[in-house]
Amino acid sequence: MAGKPKLHYTKGRGKMESIRWLLAAAGVEFEEEFIETKEDLEKLRNDGVLLFQQVPMVEIDGMRMVQTRAILSYIAAKYNLYGKDLKERAWIDMYVEGTTDLMGMIMYLPFQPADTKEKNLALIIERATTRYFPVYEKALKDHGQDYLVGNKLSWADVHLLEAILMAEECKPDVLSAFPLLQAFKGRISNIPTIKKFLQPGSQRKPPTDEKFVAVVRKIFNI
């Protein structure tokens, strides 16, 4: 039997968090080897296990996978979370790219200068409520189903729930104008594997704070 996937990343969310979410949603147990110092990262680079000298890196099925999108696509396909045909996969990809854009804005907020944070936070809320969430609200309304694509749990649903929770950390009532997304959040959060991941003590990482920002800056020289 193949061993558990092993995730190599810092002890925080970053680009690895969506990978943790997807594995957890698929009910896959995984191990983590944390990069805690610049030397830890250099060792991985010197050992030649990082294709482009970058993390995230995931050891899975005898591969050392890098590039977040490639890793997520592989996991989604392997665990039947990537639609039943090319058209469904295309819709999943479009929805995922949208949530990735929104989550990227939120992810980089703690790393921005203090004097621009308020402006950028306002932009995140504006984009979430006028550009991104209306798309998902309309999709759920138009097809009247529980999930975004094919009436079956997919990567798009898992990614959207992660994005919703990140946006709510920025503004708790961000979904106030989106009743179908509120219901969606409740449904997806109660899927047993996801519910387990949302419990305290899981491998889900907390929001990025100033202490973690300092650690990341040191490791990656930023």
Q: What is the CATH number of the domain that holds 141?
A: 1.20.1050.10
Q: Are residues 181 and 204 in the same domain?
A: no
Q: Are residues 55 and 96 in the same domain?
A: no
Instruction: Report if residue 178 sits inside a domain.
Output: yes
Q: Are residues 62 and 16 in the same domain?
A: yes
Please give the structure tokens belonging to residue 192: 């047993």
Instruction: Report if residue 112 sits inside a domain.
Output: yes
Residue 72 lies in domain: 6-79+198-212
For the segment 84-127, what is each residue's pLDDT rounded down to a tens digit? Answer: 999 999 999 999 999 999 999 999 999 999 889 889 999 999 99
For the segment 157-214, what is each residue's pLDDT rounded down to a tens digit? Answer: 999 999 999 999 999 999 999 999 999 999 999 999 999 999 999 999 999 999 999 9
> What is the secondary structure of 89-151 as a DSSP string?
HHHHHHHHHHHHHHHHHHHHGGGS-HHHHHHHHHHHHHHIIIIIHHHHHHHHHHH--SSSSTT
Q: Are residues 68 and 98 in the same domain?
A: no
Q: Are residues 68 and 49 in the same domain?
A: yes
Contact 197, 25 (CB under 8 A): yes
**What's the domain count of the chain?**
2
User: Order of strands, edge to edge, in the sheet holding 57-60?
Assistant: 31-34, 6-9, 57-60, 63-66
Q: Label each residue of 137-200 as H, E or C.
A: HHHHHHHCCCCCCCCCCCHHHHHHHHHHHHHHHHCCCCCCCCHHHHHHHHHHHCCHHHHHHCCC
- What does pTM read for this prediction? 0.95
